[in-house]
Amino acid sequence: MLKVISFTICPFVQRVTALLEAKGIPYQVEYISLSDKPQWFLDLSPNGQVPLLVTEQGDTLFESDAIVEYLEEAYPALQPALSPVQKAQNRAWSYLGSKQYLVQCGAQSSKDADTLKTRSEKLATAFAKVEKVLGEHRFFNSDSLSMVDIAWLPLLHRAQIIKDATGYDFLHGFPKVQAWQAAVMATGLAQKSVAEAFDQRFADYYLSEQTLLGRCQRTCAPCDCHAQNLEADCCAEAEIRRCTPMPATSGCCDSSGCGDDSRCG
């Protein structure tokens, strides 16, 4: 059986496990602490990052891009009839998605409104590019899942968690991406591809007292908030304000580890 070496909340790992779930491939997961990496893991991983995939033959693969390409080639493809050009296009859009994982991690861990706004706007540039190419299909480019959907699933999943918990919407202004998010989340792959402890570990890291989103979740009622209406003093530690939901146009006083590339890849 395939084995995935993982860190609980790493989006790069979720990309791999989501593909395994989508293909119905049996696998097991071994979790490690990235703050205290075991020597056996360092011996297997040239870059010291998760995920790692150990194949049924005992070969070890690293880097999520390489792992998902192996899984797509070694097992029945999600979209078997694609031309070489279509496969290359899918890879390119998938790379664009995976490049945003750490951008989103940084936005989620922002400690003040200005930082959250700046990082959200950087993330939004990628969502804007997808918004332009999404069509009438249920998923990215068809009515069945593709490698692109799998690559963007960790981003869409985390955006949903943040919105549900705080009201802050990373996808504000992108209706096609929001519809795509709903379709991907409806598959159930997001929950199937993470550990039982994922929600709590995610909250502990990104919705703690150390982050703006975490402080606001604890002190304010969720409202329709996003980068364009986020006040600079939102949930400032000196004067956290308890508020009620307000329309996006009136401003907002509550916006509603993986964290760095030395851990995941």
- Residue 257's nearest CA partner among 6, 5, 4 is 6
Is the bond leading into 51 cis (omega within 30 degrees of zero)?
yes
Residue with the two structure tokens 């990628």: 126
Catalytic-labelled residue, pool 10, 105, 235, 258: 10
Per the annotation, the verdict on 105 as an active-site residue is: no
3-class DSSP assignment, residue 256: coil
- Cα distance between residue 39 and residue 92, in whole Å: 34
The CA-based dihedral angle spanning residues 122, 123, 126, 130, taken in that order and rounded to the nearest 10 degrees: -140
Residue with the two structure tokens 């797509």: 72
At position 41, the amino acid (one-letter code) is F
Report the greatest alpha carbon distance in the chain.
59
3-class DSSP assignment, residue 204: helix
DSSP 8-state symbol, 2? E
- Residue 254's nearest CA partner among 206, 220, 229 is 220
Provide the annotated active-site residues: 10
